């Protein structure tokens, strides 16, 4: 009678579960989920408070692409952001603090997510915990930076140019509001940061055995359509920023396919070994 070979995780097919794997009731899982959500929420609240304290500095930082685009468009003077209601400045600072709080809390959120699923992972897979959390921050920062340095200036400059060309014979006065500008800016920054997390999400689901590369490839056409819809919804209503968001999303999707292929191999091997044992007449 043949003896199955051990897989990369040091386990004999699927006969043994992950190290330390013990049966848990539904309520145990629910309790762990509640604990993870509470800790993540507290991290967001802490980040919110920190960012609210520095909301003025963050607003000035977010306004820099507007100033750059204003000068590139050849407009006179400096752009001014108007406040139309007494509560606008406060509401704007709250919006800035919420977006900043989510970013600051990103390491805690992903750490809690990893800890929630880690009991179901093999020892080899648990080694990815710290790289997973660090990558979540770096990928979000990469997406937000890409948006801040390229997408925002180009989008604002294109909109200025379009307005000027469409009203060449009529002088145009820009009445930009603080609330609208910060709302649109934070929304698109968070959107780009979240989009750049796609490969990490694929890695997480593949490591947990939820998906593999074939699952993603099977629906790639639908995924591309959905990405263009998401880009149209999250970006200003003009083609430049929509394309600048949709194209990276598509590239990141196919990068996610490669990540899923690499990380789902242990699960595929374990499944193949278990099926081979059944075919040979061994106990599963």
Cβ within 8 Å of residue 45, ≥6 positions away: 101
Quick one: pLDDT at residue 46? Answer: 95
Q: What mean pLDDT do residues 162-183 have?
A: 80
Give the H/E segment covering residue 81: strand 81-82
> Residues 206-216: pLDDT tens digits?
766 677 777 77
Q: Which residues neighbour 248 within 8 Å (Cβ) at sequence distance 6 or greater? A: 143, 146, 192, 195, 196
Grade residue 273 by pLDDT with cuts at 50, 70 and 90.
low
Q: How far apart are CA 87 and CA 95, in angstroms?
A: 12
**What are the CA-CA distances from residue 32 to residues 115, 221, 250 (Å)?**
9, 36, 34
Per the model's pLDDT, the better-predicted residue between 4 and 73 turns out to be 73
Residue with tokens 């920023």: 241
- Rounded distance between C-alpha atoms, residue 161 and residue 163, angstroms: 5
pLDDT-above-90 percentage for the chain: 14
Contact 237, 267 (CB under 8 A): no
Among the ranges given (48-62, 77-91, 98-112, 153-167), the one the predictor scored with the smallest mean pLDDT:
153-167
Whole-number pLDDT of residue 266? 63
Instruction: Give the three-state DSSP class for 32.
Output: helix
| DSSP label of 23 | -
**How confident is the model at residue 51, as a pLDDT?**
94
In the chain, where are the structural domains located? 22-193, 197-284
């Amino acid at each position: 009678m043949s003896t199955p070979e051990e897989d990369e995780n040091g386990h004999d097919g699927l006969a043994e579960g992950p190290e330390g794997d013990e049966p848990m009731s539904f309520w145990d899982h629910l309790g762990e989920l509640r604990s993870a959500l509470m800790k993540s929420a507290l991290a967001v609240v802490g980040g919110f408070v920190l960012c609210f304290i520095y909301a003025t500095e963050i607003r000035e930082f977010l306004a820099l692409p507007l100033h750059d685009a204003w000068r590139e468009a050849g407009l006179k003077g400096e752009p001014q952001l108007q406040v139309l209601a007494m509560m606008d400045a406060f509401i704007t600072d709250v919006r800035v603090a919420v977006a900043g709080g989510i970013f600051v809390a990103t390491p805690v959120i992903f750490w809690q997510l990893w800890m929630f699923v880690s009991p179901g992972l093999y020892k080899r897979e648990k080694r990815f915990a710290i790289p997973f959390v660090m990558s979540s921050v770096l990928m979000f920062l990469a997406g937000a930076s890409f948006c801040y340095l390229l997408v925002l200036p180009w989008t604002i400059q294109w909109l200025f140019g379009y307005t000027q060309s469409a009203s060449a014979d009529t002088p145009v006065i820009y009445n930009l509001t603080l609330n609208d500008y910060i709302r649109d800016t934070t929304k698109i920054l968070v959107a780009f940061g979240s989009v750049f997390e796609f490969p990490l999400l694929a890695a997480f689901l593949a490591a947990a055995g939820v998906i593999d590369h074939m699952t993603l490839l099977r629906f790639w056409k639908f995924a591309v359509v959905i990405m263009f819809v998401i880009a149209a919804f999250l970006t200003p209503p003009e083609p430049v920023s929509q394309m600048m968001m949709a194209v990276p999303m598509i590239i990141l999707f196919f990068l996610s396919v490669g990540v899923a292929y690499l990380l789902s191999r242990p699960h595929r091997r374990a499944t193949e070994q278990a099926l081979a044992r059944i075919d040979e007449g061994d106990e599963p």
